[in-house]
Structure 1
Amino acid sequence: MGVVRALFALACIAGLTHAAFSAYWAAGGTWLLATAGQTMVEQFESMTWVLWIVAGIKALAAVIPLLAPDNPLIRGVSWVGGFVLVVWGGLSTVIALAVFAGVYIPKGGIDRAGMIGHAFLWDPLFVLWGVALLGALATSRPRRLRDVNEVADA
């Protein structure tokens, strides 16, 4: 497996991991639920159907770039998605780490399990997903563009 394919696969695995937990929680599972944060748990408690939608979107966002890496629309959406994952996940990770370091203290107190999840699990996993996706996109070019360049070089 080449580097590009491995990066697309790593991005897919990270995204499917996120999707799987969203689906698991939507189905009533509770393992690691506290690491999503008490506020999140309370918001979605009576709306678990939303988690099914979230799981589906995450799964599609994880799989489609792996299956259609040369499609210009998929590549464009993937570039945007990759940046959003890195920025969102990165900022959330830094904020959670700042809470642990005592640099930032939330007004409502600290949800320790939620902070652990955001600092060390879910948000870094978003960053991994985004970095792997952006890496795959940056080190690959659509087949059409490669073919044009190869003809020009011949």
Structure 2
Amino acid sequence: MTSGRSLAVSRSLVWVAGVAGTVHAAFSAYWAAGGQWLLATVGTWAVDLSADAPLEAGLALAGIAVVKLLAAAIPVGAAYGRVPWPGLWRRVAWCGGSFLVVYGGVNAAVSSAVLAGLIRPDGGYDRAAMMGHAWLWDPLFFVWGAALVLSLWFSRDSSQDREHGE
């Protein structure tokens, strides 16, 4: 691929990553505000915590939402040269994206194996949470991470990187 085409592919992928991360952040913010839709797909513990300690759960989820939103937005800003220290953010994004690929991929695979009956947890399992992790949240983490890592890969030789000392 040419440098220009690689940069275009990279920027498309960083937007995919940004959207996936923003979806995650939006649900965390929605739950922080007291929303219940799809909360059971995270786990019974989350439903119980939101009922038993709504303020604490709301504050924790608000913090998680902010972190997710920053993790979704900063790579987009870095791809366009809109944040300071783009080299630092690229290194952080390599680590975070790689973590999301492994975390999302492994959890989606294990949850799917449980739902398929290939793994049988002692004491049973929370079916709604297992479905949420197998089919929604962890695949979304995987997509977020994979798009981010691929974006970084395709932009590694761009003139933008050379200008910023990478």
TM-score (norm 1): 0.89
Residue type at the aligned position of 1:79: W
Q: 2:134 aligns with which of 99, 119, 134?
A: 119
The match for 2:40 is 34
Say if 2:63 is the partner of 1:53: yes
Q: Which moved more, 1:104-113 or 1:50-59?
A: 104-113
Say if 2:162 is the partner of 1:145: yes
RMSD: 1.9
The match for 2:4 is none
TM-score (norm 2): 0.83
Contact 1:44 1:50 in 2 (8 A): no
Render the CA deviation track for 1:79-133: whole Å, top value 9, x for unaligned: 0000100111111101101101111122231211101100000000000000000
Contact 2:39 2:46 in 1 (8 A): no
The match for 2:30 is 24
Residue type at the aligned position of 1:114: A
The match for 1:5 is 11
Say if 2:89 is the partner of 1:74: yes
Q: 2:104 aligns with which of 71, 89, 102?
A: 89
Contact 2:155 2:161 in 1 (8 A): no
The match for 2:73 is 63
Which ranges in structure 2 are unaligned for 5 or more consecutive residues? 1-6
Residue type at the aligned position of 2:75: P
Distance (Å, rounded) in 2 between the aligned partners of 1:17 and 1:116: 18
Say if 2:149 is the partner of 1:134: yes
> Aligned pairs, how many?
148
Residue type at the aligned position of 1:63: A
